[in-house]
Structure 1
Amino acid sequence: MATRAAHKRLAREYASISASPPPFITAHPSESNILEWHYILTGPPGTPYAGGQYWGTLIFPPDYPFAPPAIRMHTPSGRFQPSTRLCLSISDFHPKSFNPAWEVSTILLGLQSFMTSEEMTTGSLSATEAERKVFAQRSRWWNSTGGGSSQRTIPGVATTGSNGRGFGAIRSGDGGKKFKEEWPELDEENWKWMEENRIDPATGRAVAPAKTECNPEASALRRRPTGSGAGIGEVVEGAQVARDAGQGFLGRNKLYIAIGVLFAYVILARILGEAEQ
């Protein structure tokens, strides 16, 4: 339970960060426990995390601000191990280096700065830029489905399988329940986004719409002659047209070519005979 001083300090900081949130950052305390804060870092433009939705928690000690919080990021990012305590100078790994003047916004700005660097520490990961971009693209799906463990479906999008294996196959296992409790509006936005983009809730992959028409060539082959005049002559004529279309220039004009070659041979033989006389 938070001390009276901690409660008063965190309530004031919530009012401050709500009125003037730092760029790409939003945060609030849990309704049931003011020491449990939830944040969303939006990946800044120009980084591999651009557009990503990174959800995490700050767990403050009862004597805050005289001790720092435990910092975790739950959304897979390719930068931090999901739901693992991070060893930072602003986290509970280094209580002696924490400055009581630092606020929640200071802590989250520090986390954002560390995330966009390449410095390694306990709880951090090494990944390629391409991998981190994929995590960013899948972050909204992951948050609202619990990594594919949600039972909710999207009309017109058939579930194609499980995300239990392969790249980004990290499950929270709660079906996105905790995220929805803390971020109901964002959760609905995420589901709307998945529906508009036909994202399979089980795998996070886009599902192509079913094709209802064949290509023009196949459609033409399916057409049948109409009317009472369609008889054997038209079928033969159609077959002849098809054969002509399939033959090349030589095949269609071989008789004329043979005559031309023979004529050229006769002329050449005459010219050579006159030259020998």
Structure 2
Amino acid sequence: MATPAATKRLTKEYAAITKSPPPYIIAHPSEKNILEWHYVLTGPPDTPYDGGQYWGTLMFPPDYPFAPPAIRMHTPSGRFQPSTRLCLSISDFHPKSFNPAWEVSTILTGLLSFMTSEEMTTGSVRASEHERKLFAQRTRWWNSTGGGSKQTGTQSSNTRGIGAIKAGDGGAKFRSEWPELDEENSKWMKEKRINPQTGLPLPAQSSQPHCSPDMAGLRRRPGGSTTGVGVVVQEGRVARDVGQSWLGRNKWKMVLGAILSYILVARILGDGAVTAATTAH
């Protein structure tokens, strides 16, 4: 339980950070516990974290400001181990180096500065710039879905304790602390067509228009299955045959028949003339 001095100090700091938040930082205490603060860092431009939404917690000791808070970042970033206590000069790893004059805004500004550097400490990890950009693109999805799963994951000893967020909570904790951001994230995922299970964009829908029943009928002959160019050729042949007369289609047969008939008649007449001449002699 917070001491009266801690409660008074944190109440004053909440009013100050709400009125004049530091760049890329928002924060508030939990409604149930003034010692539990939730922050969101927005990735600054010109960094691998540009546009990312990084959610974490500050767990203050009851005798704050005479002792520093435990600092965690829950959102995967490629910079810190998710939900792991961070060893910083402004965290509970170094209580003797903490200055009571430092406020919540001071602590979070220091955290953001450390995040955008390459200095290593307990709880930090190494990753490429490309990997950190990919993490940044999926931060909204991760915060509002808990990583796309509602199953509780196992945690190392360093991620346990007050303020740790269990992996795969379905975004319940984030939703309860940041309902307005969760609503914005949901709209963003719908607009970007993000799969809530994977955090990846859904396959693009086919843009090819579908034919109406009337148009489809033009591609299919009644009683048949031929479609496309074959139908056009076949229908053209039918139309051409119908348009021609019987005489036009059979003229060469008639010419050949006339020639054969002429030869046959000539032969018959020639044989008759020869027979008549032979009889006369």
TM-score, normalization: structure 1? 0.72
Q: Give the Cα separation in 2 of the matches to 1:202 and 1:234.
A: 54
**Identity, % of aligned pairs?**
72
SS at match of 1:77: coil
Match of residue 136 from structure 2: 136
SS at match of 1:33: coil
SS at match of 2:138: helix
Q: Is the 8 A contact 1:150 1:201 kept in 2?
A: no
Match of residue 262 from structure 1: none
Shift of residue 134 of structure 1? 0.3
Match of residue 236 from structure 2: 234
Q: Give the Cα separation in 2 of the matches to 1:43 and 1:135.
A: 11
Match of residue 167 from structure 1: none
- Partner amino acid for 2:187? K
- Partner amino acid for 2:198? T
Shift of residue 173 of structure 1? 1.5
Match of residue 192 from structure 2: 197
Decide whether aligned partners of structure 1 residues 223 and 150 sit closer, same or farther in structure 2, where only a CA change above 3 A counts: farther
- Partner amino acid for 1:184? P
Q: Give the Cα separation in 2 of the matches to 1:72 and 1:87.
A: 10
Shift of residue 224 of structure 1? 2.7
Match of residue 70 from structure 2: 70
| Aligned match for 1:173, one of 138, 144, 168 | 168
| CA deviation profile, 1:219-255 (whole Å, cap 9, x unmatched) | x99963889x977472599xxxxxxxxxxxxxxxxxx
Match of residue 84 from structure 1: 84
Decide whether aligned partners of structure 1 residues 132 and 12 sit closer, same or farther in structure 2, where only a CA change above 3 A counts: same
Q: Is the 8 A contact 1:146 1:174 kept in 2?
A: yes
SS at match of 1:61: coil
Matched, 1:107 2:110: no
SS at match of 1:82: coil
Match of residue 6 from structure 1: 6
Match of residue 122 from structure 2: 122
SS at match of 2:79: coil
Q: Is the 8 A contact 1:39 1:56 kept in 2?
A: yes
Shift of residue 149 of structure 1? 1.4
SS at match of 2:26: strand
Shift of residue 178 of structure 1? 0.2
Bigger radius of gyration among the two: 2
Q: Is the 8 A contact 1:150 1:202 kept in 2?
A: no
Q: Give the Cα separation in 2 of the matches to 1:51 and 1:23.
A: 13
- Partner amino acid for 2:47? T
| Aligned match for 1:210, one of 183, 188, 205 | 205
Decide whether aligned partners of structure 1 residues 236 and 70 sit closer, same or farther in structure 2, where only a CA change above 3 A counts: farther
202-211 vs 61-70, which deviates more? 202-211
Shift of residue 150 of structure 1? 5.3
Q: Give the Cα separation in 2 of the matches to 1:223 and 1:150.
A: 52
TM-align CA RMSD: 2.7
Match of residue 224 from structure 1: 219
Q: Give the Cα separation in 2 of the matches to 1:233 and 1:148.
A: 57
TM-score, normalization: structure 2? 0.71
- Partner amino acid for 1:10? L
- Partner amino acid for 2:75? T
Decide whether aligned partners of structure 1 residues 90 and 236 sit closer, same or farther in structure 2, where only a CA change above 3 A counts: farther
Match of residue 42 from structure 1: 42
Long gaps (5+) in structure 2:
152-165, 223-230, 240-281
- Partner amino acid for 2:93? F
Decide whether aligned partners of structure 1 residues 8 and 134 sit closer, same or farther in structure 2, where only a CA change above 3 A counts: same
Q: Give the Cα separation in 1 of the matches to 2:7 and 2:190.
A: 40
Q: Is the 8 A contact 1:48 1:136 kept in 2?
A: yes
| CA deviation profile, 1:181-211 (whole Å, cap 9, x unmatched) | 0000000000000001100000000012332
